[in-house]
Structure 1
């Protein structure tokens, strides 16, 4: 039986009179890579922030459960202890700390120094570019390298669910391909991922299942590979007639 990791039911988010999310529902099961695609402003990032409790003052309704427990009212910093980690849009690395220090921050909920050292070495094998620059200040890295660091830092917490918000944003095509290669590698290691992404083609190629969000509504869902061949997805997001 498949274990449900995340369930979002009838989520609505309103900023004053503006409804950013309008009754969205989605779920992510253990071991899945699920992607939420849509145009800029569709409500994708707002959905992730509602899950993590990091929205500014606004009206939120609906139900969000993680590992069977309601998330409503929980502080965002408690979620890391519950093995839920998010890589935010814009990466958010500690620019005046080294790569190694950033990774240590990702493991702040653990006091097992031996395990932390092993984890750092493990993720250095997945992100060899970071190992080469371990003592370098994070603020001096390229955008793609910072994205790798943000992902590795989140993975240091041993998440049961990893949320990725627009990991390809602002990166060169070569670096975008590299980031998605890493996402596929992480998924293959059994880590459950919810990926919010504008690059619909790469996101659906990497994912098991997909959701399409338009103007705050989930308008389509299904097997990711099948969605790649759906004429509506092709026309709206893949630039194909």
Structure 2
């Protein structure tokens, strides 16, 4: 039986009188790549922010269990200390720092210099574009390169759970394919991932399991391949009749 890393139960999130998330359940087991798909405004990013403790002032109900313990209301930096890392929508790299310096920032909680150096080499091996530009300022990179850097930086803290929020947003089709290739590579190395993504086809192709979110509710879930074959998913999210 797979160990449960994240379990969300009955999660409701309201901003004033607006109910953004209306009582959802989802879970991620160790070693899984789970995707949450849906249209803009469905509540996907709000859900991730609730999990990571980065929501603005709002009302949150329900339960978020991470690593076997309730974490709702916990400060985001404490969650990072517990191995929960997020690559936010928009990437959020340190633009006036070099690629190498950005990676070291991802390891700021660590003090094993040899291990940090080994991990820098490891991720440079998986992200060769970054290795070629290691001393270049992050702000001068393309969108796709910044996305790779944001992912590599998050992985430097050895996350037990990696949350990815719209990693393909704003990228060219070729770069989108590359980003998903990297996501699959990272997953194959045993990193547990919760992926929020609008590109439903690529997300479900990569995922072990998927959830569909619509207007603040989970409307469907199942194995990635089963959902790819589902006529409702194909019609609503893959543009196929």
Once the two structures are superposed, what CA deviation does each residue of 1:14-47 show, in whole Å capped at 9, x if it has no partner? 0001011000110000000000000011000000
Alignment of 1:50-129 (within 5 A): 50-129=50-129
Alignment correspondent of 2:175: 175
Provide the rounded CA distance (Å) in 2 between the counterparts of 1:184 and 1:176.
12
Once the two structures are superposed, what CA deviation does each residue of 1:58-85 show, in whole Å capped at 9, x if it has no partner? 0000000001011122110111111110
Alignment correspondent of 2:154: 154
Provide the rounded CA distance (Å) in 2 between the counterparts of 1:141 and 1:65.
37
Long gaps (5+) in structure 2 = none
Alignment of 1:1-241 (within 5 A): 1-241=1-241
Matched length: 241
Provide the rounded CA distance (Å) in 1 between the counterparts of 2:220 and 2:72.
26
Give secondary structure in 2 for the equivalent of 1:95.
coil
Provide the rounded CA distance (Å) in 1 between the counterparts of 2:98 and 2:77.
22
Give secondary structure in 1 for the equivalent of 2:26.
strand
RMSD over aligned CA atoms reads 0.4
Give secondary structure in 2 for the equivalent of 1:23.
strand
Provide the rounded CA distance (Å) in 1 between the counterparts of 2:137 and 2:80.
24
Provide the rounded CA distance (Å) in 2 between the counterparts of 1:6 and 1:39.
23
Moved over 3 A (4+): none
TM-score scaled by structure 2? 0.99
Provide the rounded CA distance (Å) in 1 between the counterparts of 2:79 and 2:72.
11
Provide the rounded CA distance (Å) in 1 between the counterparts of 2:45 and 2:131.
30
Once the two structures are superposed, what CA deviation does each residue of 1:167-220 show, in whole Å capped at 9, x if it has no partner? 000000000000000000000000000000000000000000000000000000
Give secondary structure in 1 for the equivalent of 2:89.
coil
Long gaps (5+) in structure 1 = none
Contact 2:50 2:72 in 1 (8 A): no
